């Protein structure tokens, strides 16, 4: 008895209860929606997603117990490993659907860009921690290089969604580290000017996605089909939705990728504006809690890391809902904690674990 | 909250940026919320409609096409149900492979493949096209067992048009065939697109074409919930189709059969009309064709044969083929002269056997002439000289005006498409017809040829039967028509086409009676008396010959020495009974075998055994 009690106390000591409640609520919404989206194929997907959630929850618990100082030790090796693997992909990667994203290790296929989602903020936060209180311009330049190498490798695969998330994760660290506003605006202006060149560098299918965003009806049976059908689903959901398991767009298979990237259309059709509002509130709470943890974090490393992870959650949620509702181009970004899929969930829960670790270890640091 | 590790300004800046980030997040979420409100509240109705039209597919149900029966109820066109094997090319995995695979299960002949290929060219990729029709039950079962191997292939129960009497009255009934682009435009012009959504066949000629919108019926539809792949999930509502109306014809199938048989495959036509109401009793165009060949897309060789046959079986000669009517024109000329007052019945001419006009001599048939000829005799013996003089006295304008009144040289407005106008010669007609000045001039000599039904005159048997009906009806003109009753098969409601006289020609009854009696005389004692000897009824008539080929003066016409195509066409117009005509008919045989002794054709059941001595007037 005593042992169990102590074990429970040990676990609870490193849990952030508000964060956990929000994440559990989102996962609950996720399970309901995954069930609705996959009910025609039985319970297999739902079962698998429950297992995914359980596994990633355990990972979160483990990470939460690990002090930030220990996490910091992983930063450089993890980042280097990621870069090496990305180079490996570029050289020996497997091509699926025209993209070279996977690396076969014989028994398992891995997607190294996924590692970068965690390694990038770790690495940059470690870098800034190392040079704390003597940050100069050159450090920001170095940080930019650390960011650019893997992002460019991922862009080349090509994988717009992941490179967006990785570069966002890196950028947010640099932003919180104090990148001057004028530099940011200057970069934004330069970026605007470079847009035509970037357009030329995009792959045909990426350009088409941008074009179909501007006018989905220009290709209603091809690239525009996704956006048209998902906006129909959302719009026809109305104020209160059609009811759980009653979305005609969902259940008559009009929504593509309905249990993964486009799951928000399923949710929105069945739960309406009310459901969307609740979901936005949950995400706002998640991000709010994350930012609070960042603000209260004791070290530069943990502050930068917490801030970046939190804002990456925001990017996930915003980009996904934006693309499904037709205001952003279609890029492969899942809806965090809700979309079906083990890898994305694991990465996200790693992030949650890090946030909890930072929150629950801050007193120890103080002492 | 103080911190030992971070310097204060750094921490302040950091917290500042956290606030900025938080504000940015809130702002972006508000943008999303605005988007959701736009989609789910403002545009909700629009997207609901879009979702519904996604979800619900309207499947048209083709109505049964109306039947066509003759006046006694003999079925001339009906529908039967049969299974077809159909392929939707866009859904197959390789068209050739699919057809080859199917050929192992059901019989697919080369002709089936050919027809499929032709239909494929005419249709769009997502339409289903029949590869085989009329599957046997065994074939249906064998395909059902192998169905999984053939995506995009289905067995469908379809209604087929059937013409149980085959070639009988094919030109009058017409045929249906698959809808083409031109038909689609015609359907659109009638505002019938919705009604024809599932329809694949349409009337192409004859009654099938003219009464298309009566026969077609109103399409029903099913609302079916479909998934994104277009598969039906369940039926939401069902509106049954309303079958098309049935047509009961004025045509008598038995009379038609006798008349067709009498032609013995010879080229020609016959029109029989009830003069009292314009009802068409028989409409023969020989040779005929089998309309069933067209129903499901005609095979190439069949089409080739019909098209290249020198006898042109597809041509509806009864309404479209026009020729000079020869001496059958004479009774009408006599009536014209009576009406305009250029002749009295008793006025007699002395026929020397020729008529001199200018420096030209128009010859009579009989060498030495017929002697004294009055109007009665002029018709009975078919005296050319009488009509040469008559035409000359009347002048072309009088002739053209009167014949136009009778209905010649214009359309009769019969209820099937493709009618010819014919040619009623007149100076005005020549002006219109010819471009060169010297050709436009009317010569008085031409009037004389017109007087005996030769020259530019050109009428169909429909024209001649119509004109004679108008005469015998004392000038009351009825529109010739083939349909007597249109019946709604659902309600049983009947619409009888009550024939109303369309106009009245100013004729004196006593003049008509003179002509009627003279034509009766032809059958009794004149050029066709031998043919009617012993007939149980009285009749009237007039023979005629249309020249195809002009002999040089001094040459004698011997039919055996001429190529068939150059032989004269034989005409006969008749009516019976003589006192109160109930049938008027006009027959024309192209390139009749002998000018003196034309045995065939007979003139229908009422004229069975009629033989005639074709002895029309010629102007030589």
| Interhelix angle B444-451/B384-394, nearest 10 degrees | 130
Within a domain: B264: no
Within a domain: B2: no
User: Nearest 5°: CA angle at B28, between B27 and B34?
Assistant: 90
Tokens of B317: 């000669």
Within a domain: A5: no
What is the distance between the alpha carbons of residues A157 and B567, in angstroms, rounded to a whole number? 87
B444 is catalytic: no
What is the distance between the alpha carbons of residues B383 and B362, in angstroms, rounded to a whole number? 12
For A289, which residue in chain B has the nearest alpha carbon?
A: B22
Pair B61, B209 in one domain = yes
ipTM score of the complex? 0.94
Read off the pTM.
Answer: 0.67
- Looking at the DSSP assignment, which residues form a beta bridge with residue A102? A94
Residue B551, pLDDT > 60, answer: no
- Are B245 and B215 spatial neighbours (Cβ–Cβ below 8 Å)? yes
- Are A232 and B47 spatial neighbours (Cβ–Cβ below 8 Å)? yes
Pair B436, B528 in one domain = yes
Pair B311, B357 in one domain = no
Q: CB neighbours of A192 closer than 8 A, spacing ≥ 6?
A: none
C-alpha distances (whole Å) from B588 to each of A356, B193, B268, B405, B567 are 107, 42, 5, 23, 13
Pair B91, B226 in one domain = no
Pair B179, B314 in one domain = yes
Domain range enclosing B222: 57-74+165-249+287-318
**SS in 3 state form for B343-400?**
CCCCCCEEECCEEEECCEEEECCCCCCCEEECHHHHHHCCCHHHHHHHHHHHCHHHHH
Q: Which of the listed residues B162, B188, B209 is the one where a domain comes to its end?
A: B162
Pair B557, B492 in one domain = yes
Within a domain: B614: no
Within a domain: B19: no
Give the confidence band of B310 by pLDDT, cuts at 50, 70, 90.
confident
For A294, which residue in chain B has the nearest alpha carbon?
A: B18
Give the confidence band of B603 by pLDDT, cuts at 50, 70, 90.
very low
Number of structural domains (chain A) is 1
Cis peptide before B499 (omega within 30 of 0): no
The share of chain B scoring above pLDDT 90, in percent, equals 50
- Looking at the DSSP assignment, which residues form a beta bridge with residue B372? B350
Catalytic residue among B288, B327, B449, B605: B327
Residue B80, pLDDT > 90, answer: no
pLDDT digits (tens, 9 = 90+) for B374-415: 999 999 999 999 999 999 999 999 999 999 999 999 999 999
Within a domain: A7: no
- Are A34 and A335 spatial neighbours (Cβ–Cβ below 8 Å)? no
Tokens of B136: 């046997």
DSSP-based three-state secondary structure for B156: strand
Contact A296 B1 (CB under 8 A): yes
Average predicted confidence (pLDDT) for chain B? 85
pLDDT confidence of residue B560:
57
Contact B18 A252 (CB under 8 A): no
Q: Which residues of B touch A (CB under 8 A)?
A: 1, 3-7, 10, 13-15, 17-18, 21-22, 25-26, 28-29, 31-33, 35-37, 39-41, 43-44, 46-48, 50-52, 54-55, 225-229, 233
> A257: closest CA among A335, A337, A160, A315?
A335
What is the distance between the alpha carbons of residues B182 and B122, in angstroms, rounded to a whole number? 12
pLDDT confidence of residue B372:
93
pLDDT confidence of residue B558:
59
User: Nearest 5°: CA angle at B603, between B601 and B605?
Assistant: 125
Within a domain: A1: no
What is the distance between the alpha carbons of residues A84 and A115, in angstroms, rounded to a whole number? 11
Q: Which of residues 299-338 of A touch B (CB under 8 A)?
A: 299-300, 303, 307, 311, 314, 318, 321-322, 325-327
> B532: closest CA among B572, B492, B562?
B572
Within a domain: B169: yes
What is the distance between the alpha carbons of residues A241 and A247, in angstroms, rounded to a whole number? 8
> A345: closest CA among A52, A104, A24?
A52
Any CB–CB contact under 8 A between A288 and chain B?
yes
For B12, which residue in chain A has the nearest alpha carbon?
A: A295
Own/partner pairs, B300-306, CB within 8 angstroms, 24+ separation: B300/B114, B300/B115, B300/B118, B301/B111
Within a domain: A9: no
Contact B40 A322 (CB under 8 A): no
Pair B197, B328 in one domain = no
Question: Furthest-apart CA pair in chain B: how many Å?
Answer: 150
Instruction: Give the E-state strand segments of B173-310 in sequence order.
Output: 176-178, 201-203, 220-226, 232-239, 246-249, 268-274, 279-286
Residue B572, pLDDT > 70, answer: yes
Within a domain: B256: no
Distance of CA B413 to the CA centre of its chain: 12
Domain range enclosing A357: 16-366
Q: What is the pLDDT along chain A (367 residues), one digit of tens a residue?
A: 788 888 888 888 889 999 999 999 999 999 999 999 998 877 889 999 999 999 999 999 999 999 999 999 999 999 999 999 999 998 888 887 777 888 887 777 788 898 999 999 999 999 999 998 788 889 999 999 999 999 999 988 888 889 999 999 999 999 999 999 999 999 899 988 888 888 888 778 778 777 766 777 666 666 678 888 999 999 999 999 999 999 988 888 888 889 999 999 999 999 999 999 999 999 999 999 999 999 999 999 999 999 999 999 999 999 999 999 999 888 889 999 999 988 899 999 999 999 999 999 987 554 4
What is the distance between the alpha carbons of residues A190 and B189, in angstroms, rounded to a whole number? 60
> B378: closest CA among B542, B509, B610, B581?
B542
Contacts of B31 in chain A (CB under 8 A): 327
Within a domain: A309: yes
Pair B368, B357 in one domain = yes
Cis peptide before B398 (omega within 30 of 0): no
Give the confidence band of B127 by pLDDT, cuts at 50, 70, 90.
low
Q: Which of B14, B46, B227 lies nearest to residue A235, judging by beta carbons? A: B46
Contacts of A322 in chain B (CB under 8 A): 32, 35
Residue B595, pLDDT > 50, answer: no
Neighbour count for residue B357 (Cβ, 10 Å): 16
Q: Which of the listed residues B138, B162, B186 is the one where a domain comes to its end?
A: B162
Within a domain: A160: yes
Pair B306, B326 in one domain = no
Pair B372, B495 in one domain = yes
Q: How many residues does chain B have?
A: 620
Find the mean pLDDT for residues B355-364.
87
DSSP-based three-state secondary structure for B248: strand
- Are A100 and A143 spatial neighbours (Cβ–Cβ below 8 Å)? no
Within a domain: B277: yes
Pair B151, B190 in one domain = no
Pair B201, B240 in one domain = yes
Neighbour count for residue B151 (Cβ, 10 Å): 12
Residue reference for tokens 């909700």: B44
Q: Which of A254, A272, A295 lies nearest to residue B15, judging by beta carbons? A: A295
Contacts of B18 in chain A (CB under 8 A): 176, 291, 294-295, 307
Give the containing element (helix H, strand E) for B131.
strand B129-132
HSE, CB side, 13 Å, CA atoms: give it for residue A73.
4
Over its C-alpha atoms, chain A yields an Rg (Å, rounded) of 21
Give the containing element (helix H, strand E) for A89.
helix A68-92
| Interhelix angle A68-92/A137-156, nearest 10 degrees | 40
Within a domain: B8: no
Work out the minimum CA distance from B89 to partner chain A, whole angstroms.
19
Phi, psi of B545 (to 5 degrees): -135, 130
Domain with B178 in it: what CATH number?
3.90.1310.10
What is the distance between the alpha carbons of residues B253 and B259, in angstroms, rounded to a whole number? 10
Within a domain: A10: no
Tokens of B217: 């019926």
> A124: closest CA among A314, A291, A347, A307?
A307
Q: Which of B6, B32, B40 lies nearest to residue A280, judging by beta carbons? A: B32
Residue B553, pLDDT > 70, answer: no
Tokens of B377: 């005799």
Domain with B426 in it: what CATH number?
3.40.710.10
Number of structural domains (chain B) is 3
pLDDT confidence of residue B392:
93
- Are B178 and B126 spatial neighbours (Cβ–Cβ below 8 Å)? no
Within a domain: A324: yes
Residue B599, pLDDT > 60, answer: no
């Amino acid at each position: 008895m005593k042992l169990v009690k102590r074990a429970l106390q040990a676990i609870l000591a490193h849990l952030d209860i508000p964060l956990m409640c929000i994440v559990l609520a989102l996962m609950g919404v996720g399970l309901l929606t995954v069930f609705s989206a996959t009910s025609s194929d039985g319970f297999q997907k739902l079962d698998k997603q429950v297992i995914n959630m359980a596994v990633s929850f355990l990972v979160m618990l483990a990470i939460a117990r690990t002090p930030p100082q220990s996490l910091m030790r992983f930063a450089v090796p993890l980042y280097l490993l990621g870069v090496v693997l990305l180079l490996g992909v570029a050289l020996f990667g497997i091509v699926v659907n025209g993209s070279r994203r996977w690396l076969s290790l014989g028994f398992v296929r891995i997607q190294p860009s996924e590692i970068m989602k965690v390694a990038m903020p770790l690495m940059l936060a470690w870098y800034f921690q190392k040079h704390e209180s003597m940050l100069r311009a050159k450090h920001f330049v170095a940080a930019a290089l650390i960011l650019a190498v893997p992002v460019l490798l991922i862009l080349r695969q090509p994988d717009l969604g992941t490179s967006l998330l990785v570069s966002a994760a890196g950028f947010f660290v640099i932003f919180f580290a104090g990148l001057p506003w004028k530099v940011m605006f200057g970069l934004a202006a330069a970026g605007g000017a470079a847009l035509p060149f970037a357009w030329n560098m995009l792959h045909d299918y990426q350009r088409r996605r941008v074009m179909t965003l501007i006018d989905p009806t220009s290709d209603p049976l091809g690239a525009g089909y996704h956006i048209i059908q998902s906006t129909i689903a959302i719009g026809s959901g109305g104020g209160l939705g059609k009811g759980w398991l009653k979305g005609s767009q969902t259940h008559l298979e009009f929504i593509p990728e309905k249990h993964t990237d486009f799951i928000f259309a399923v949710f929105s059709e069945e739960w309406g504006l009310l459901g969307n509002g609740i979901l936005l509130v949950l995400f706002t709470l998640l991000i709010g809690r994350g930012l609070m943890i960042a603000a209260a974090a004791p070290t530069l490393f943990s502050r930068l890391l917490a801030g970046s992870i939190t804002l990456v959650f925001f990017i996930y949620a915003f980009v996904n809902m934006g693309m499904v509702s037709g205001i952003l181009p279609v890029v492969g970004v899942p809806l965090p904690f809700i979309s079906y899929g083990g890898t994305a969930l694991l990465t996200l829960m790693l992030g949650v674990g890090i946030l909890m670790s930072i929150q629950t270890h801050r007193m120890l640091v103080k002492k | 909250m103080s911190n030992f590790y971070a310097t204060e300004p750094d921490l302040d800046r950091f917290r500042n940026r956290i606030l900025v980030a938080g504000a940015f997040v809130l702002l972006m979420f508000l943008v999303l919320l605005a988007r959701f409100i736009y989609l789910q509240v403002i545009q909700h109705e629009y997207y609901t409609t879009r979702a519904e039209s996604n979800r619900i597919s309207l499947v048209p149900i083709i109505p049964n096409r109306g039947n066509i029966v003759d006046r006694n109820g003999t079925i001339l066109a009906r529908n039967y149900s049969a299974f077809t094997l159909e392929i939707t090319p866009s859904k197959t995995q390789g068209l050739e492979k699919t057809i080859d695979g199917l050929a192992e299960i059901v019989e697919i002949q080369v002709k089936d493949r050919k027809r499929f290929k032709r239909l494929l060219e005419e249709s769009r990729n997502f339409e289903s096209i029949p590869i085989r029709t009329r599957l046997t039950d065994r074939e249906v079962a064998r395909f059902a067992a192998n169905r999984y191997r053939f995506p995009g292939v289905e067995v469908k129960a379809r209604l087929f048009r059937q013409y149980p009497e085959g070639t009988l009255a094919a030109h009058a009934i017409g045929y249906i065939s698959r809808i083409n682009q031109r038909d689609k435009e015609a359907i659109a012009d009638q505002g019938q697109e919705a009604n024809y959504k599932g329809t694949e066949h349409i009337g192409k000629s004859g009654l099938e074409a003219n009464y298309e919108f009566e026969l077609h019926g109103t399409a029903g539809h099913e609302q079916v919930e479909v998934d994104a792949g277009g598969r039906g999930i369940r039926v939401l509502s069902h509106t049954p189709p309303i079958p098309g109306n049935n047509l009961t014809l004025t045509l008598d199938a038995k009379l038609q059969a006798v008349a067709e048989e009498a032609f013995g495959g010879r080229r020609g036509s016959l029109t029989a009309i009830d003069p009292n109401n314009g009802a068409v009793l028989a409409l023969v165009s020989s040779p005929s064709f089998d309309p069933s060949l067209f129903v499901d897309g005609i095979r190439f060789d069949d089409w080739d044969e019909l098209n290249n046959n020198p006898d042109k079986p597809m041509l509806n000669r009864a309404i479209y083929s026009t020729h000079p009517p020869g001496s059958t024109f004479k009774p009408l000329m006599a009536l014209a002269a009576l009406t305009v007052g250029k002749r009295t019945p008793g006025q007699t001419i002395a026929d020397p056997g020729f008529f001199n006009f200018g420096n030209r001599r128009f010859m009579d048939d009989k060498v030495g002439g017929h002697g004294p000829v009055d109007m009665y005799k002029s018709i009975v013996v078919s005296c050319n000289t009488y009509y040469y003089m008559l035409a000359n006295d009347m002048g072309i304008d009088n002739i053209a005006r009167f014949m136009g009144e009778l209905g010649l040289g214009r359309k009769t407005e019969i209820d099937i498409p493709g009618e010819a106008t014919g040619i009623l010669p007149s100076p005005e007609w020549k002006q219109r017809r010819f471009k060169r000045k010297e050709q436009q001039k009317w010569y008085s000599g031409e009037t004389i040829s017109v007087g005996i039904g030769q020259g530019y005159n050109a009428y169909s048997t429909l024209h001649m039967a119509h004109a004679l009906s108008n005469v015998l009806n004392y000038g009351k003109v009825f529109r010739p028509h083939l349909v007597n009753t249109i019946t709604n098969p659902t309600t049983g409601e009947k619409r009888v086409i009550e024939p109303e006289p369309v106009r009245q020609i100013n004729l004196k009854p006593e003049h008509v009676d003179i002509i009627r009696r003279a034509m009766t005389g032809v059958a009794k004692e004149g050029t066709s008396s031998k043919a009617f000897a012993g007939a149980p009824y009285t009749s009237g008539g007039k023979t005629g010959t249309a020249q195809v080929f002009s002999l040089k003066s001094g040459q004698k016409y011997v039919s055996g020495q001429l190529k068939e195509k150059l032989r004269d066409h034989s005409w006969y117009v008749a009516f019976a009974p003589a006192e109160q005509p109930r049938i008027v008919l006009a027959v024309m045989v192209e390139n009749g075998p002998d000018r003196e002794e034309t045995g065939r054709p007979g003139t229908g059941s009422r004229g069975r055994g009629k033989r005639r001595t074709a002895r029309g007037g010629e102007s030589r």
